[in-house]
Amino acid sequence: MAFSKEHKSKMLSDYENWLGKSQAVFMLEYNKMTMKDIDAFRTKVRETGSEAHIVKNTLMQLAMTNAGYKDVKKAEGTLLVGFAYNDAPGLAKVFAEASKNSDVFKMRGGYLDKQLLSVEQVKALAELPPLPVMRATLLGVLQAPASKLVRTLAEPARSMASVVKAYSDKGATQAA
């Protein structure tokens, strides 16, 4: 399908806008995809706070070069590109699951902070825990020393209270 020059420039500006907002970009080659497949895939992508678009390869390469992406490869086949705005590991997980055991989708790699990622690196990124889990783990690591200090400082008072309670219980027993 032939596009006019104005339409191509609009598409190029859209691609550059998406690239400018995204932390990571992942690419899938698709084959024999139905609208049902596309809708289901895009729903999963939206749950991660990201977007997925079918792109024109030449325009996408030009947009990536203009946006400062390194090692831009020549795109081949029909590509579905995901733009991760918040949670790059979450989007990588959606793309990795879609390409696993599927004859419709094939992972093509991606970019993280404008650096080229291989298919294996994208799959490794997909194995990272989700962002909220990582934040909770980090918070637990940061809180552990403070919690231990509070317990250490409170222990002498607890010990003293148990000694006083034992004497009071002993005195109550002797009086009876």
CA dist list (Å): 113 to 23, 46, 64, 80, 124: 6, 20, 12, 19, 16
pLDDT at 50: 92
Give the single-character DSSP code of 71.
Answer: S
150-159 residue pLDDT tens: 778 878 877 7
CA dist list (Å): 40 to 12, 79, 112, 165, 171: 26, 17, 25, 64, 73
Helix (H) / strand (E) containing 38: helix 35-47
Looking at the DSSP bridge assignments, the partners of residue 105 are 30
Looking at the DSSP bridge assignments, the partners of residue 26 are 82, 110
pLDDT at 92: 92
Higher pLDDT, 176 or 52: 52
28-86 residue pLDDT tens: 888 887 888 888 888 999 998 899 998 988 898 999 988 888 778 777 788 889 999 98
Q: Of 30, 168, 35, give the one whose Cα is nearest residue 102.
A: 30
Pairing outcome for strands 24-30 and 79-84: antiparallel
Is the Cβ–Cβ distance between 78 and 31 less than 8 Å? Answer: yes
**Is the pLDDT confidence value at 146 over 90?**
no
Average pLDDT over residues 98-104: 79
**Is the pLDDT confidence value at 1 over 60?**
no
How far apart CA 79 and CA 28 sit, in angstroms, is 6
Helix (H) / strand (E) containing 29: strand 24-30
Higher pLDDT, 97 or 3: 97
Average pLDDT over residues 3-32: 89
Q: Helix count (H) and strand count (E) of the chain? A: 6, 5
Average pLDDT over residues 128-148: 83
pLDDT at 102: 73
Query: What are the tokens at 99?
Result: 């390409």
Look over the chain and give the mean of its residue pLDDT values, rounded to a whole number.
85
**Is the pLDDT confidence value at 167 over 60?**
yes
